[in-house]
């Protein structure tokens, strides 16, 4: 009888430790070719994935007006601002531009648009804007329109947009 009790206690102990130990449920998996950037040091409540060091040096720049710019090389440059921009208004406003003409919205969702536009017969430019929420905070992300570099390719815009749409909350510190 005692051996049965000991065996039962032993089995329950193993099940308890197996359930409590091992891999954490909130462990964040970093996509291949990317690195995890914790922006809590910059006053944000989330982690974002950016291209790894094979693409270029990571630069995090605090801009006037509370904007945060994240750059890696020449094909990853996003601007983050706190608050929720009105995507429907932005889409309508893009259609009213006197110089650039929309060719297509290749992403058209309630919180995200990505578009191709051009001036006449000149090469197209690609851009995006998305609103993402972490907890009770909303953030607006968009590509940085930088005149120093050539316009972003469609694939670069898609990669930046994917990073922005896959932000994760900063994990809570275990005490």
How far apart CA 59 and CA 76 sit, in angstroms, is 10
Is 80 exceeded by the pLDDT of residue 172?
no
Confidence of residue 91 (pLDDT cuts 50, 70, 90): very high
How far apart CA 132 and CA 142 sit, in angstroms, is 11
How far apart CA 159 and CA 73 sit, in angstroms, is 13
Domain boundaries, the chain: 29-169
The predicted structure's pLDDT at residue 17: 40
Q: What is the mean pLDDT of the chain?
A: 86
Question: Which of 4-8, 35-39, 79-83, 147-151 has the weakest average pLDDT?
Answer: 4-8
What is the DSSP annotation of 53-67?
Answer: TTT--EEEEEEGGGE
Question: Which of 13-17, 57-61, 106-110 has the weakest average pLDDT?
Answer: 13-17
Confidence of residue 149 (pLDDT cuts 50, 70, 90): confident
Task: Give the sheet arrangement for strand 168-169, strand by strand.
Answer: 34-38, 46-51, 168-169
Q: Do 150 and 116 touch, CB atoms closer than 8 A?
A: no
The more confident residue out of 16 and 111 is 111
How far apart CA 32 and CA 95 sit, in angstroms, is 37
Let me know if domain 29-169 sits in CATH 3.30.70.
no
Q: What digits encode the pLDDT tens for the residues 101-129? A: 999 999 999 999 999 999 999 999 999 99
Question: Which of 83-97, 111-125, 134-148 has the weakest average pLDDT?
Answer: 134-148
Is 90 exceeded by the pLDDT of residue 85?
yes
H or E element in which residue 95 lies: helix 87-95
Is 90 exceeded by the pLDDT of residue 1?
no
Is 50 exceeded by the pLDDT of residue 13?
no
Q: Do 44 and 139 touch, CB atoms closer than 8 A?
A: yes
Is 70 exceeded by the pLDDT of residue 21?
no
- Whole-model pTM: value is 0.81
Is 50 exceeded by the pLDDT of residue 20?
no
- b/e code 94-110 from CB counts within 10 Å (16+ = b): beeeeebeeeebebeee
């Amino acid at each position: 009888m005692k051996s049965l009790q000991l065996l039962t206690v032993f089995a329950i102990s193993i099940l308890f430790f197996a359930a409590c130990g091992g891999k954490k449920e909130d462990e964040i998996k970093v996509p291949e070719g990317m690195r995890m950037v914790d922006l809590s040091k910059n006053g944000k409540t989330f982690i974002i994935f950016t291209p790894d060091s094979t693409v270029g040096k990571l630069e995090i720049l605090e801009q006037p007006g509370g904007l945060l710019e994240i750059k890696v090389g020449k094909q990853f440059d996003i601007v983050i601002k706190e608050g929720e921009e009105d995507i429907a208004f932005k889409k309508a406003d893009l259609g009213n531009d006197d110089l650039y003409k929309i060719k297509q919205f290749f992403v058209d969702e309630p919180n995200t648009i990505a578009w191709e536009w051009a001036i006449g017969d000149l090469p197209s430019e690609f851009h995006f804007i998305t609103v993402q929420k972490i907890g009770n905070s909303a953030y607006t992300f968009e590509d940085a329109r930088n005149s120093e570099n050539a316009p972003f390719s469609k694939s670069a815009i898609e990669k930046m947009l994917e990073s922005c749409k896959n932000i994760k909350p900063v994990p809570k510190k275990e005490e």
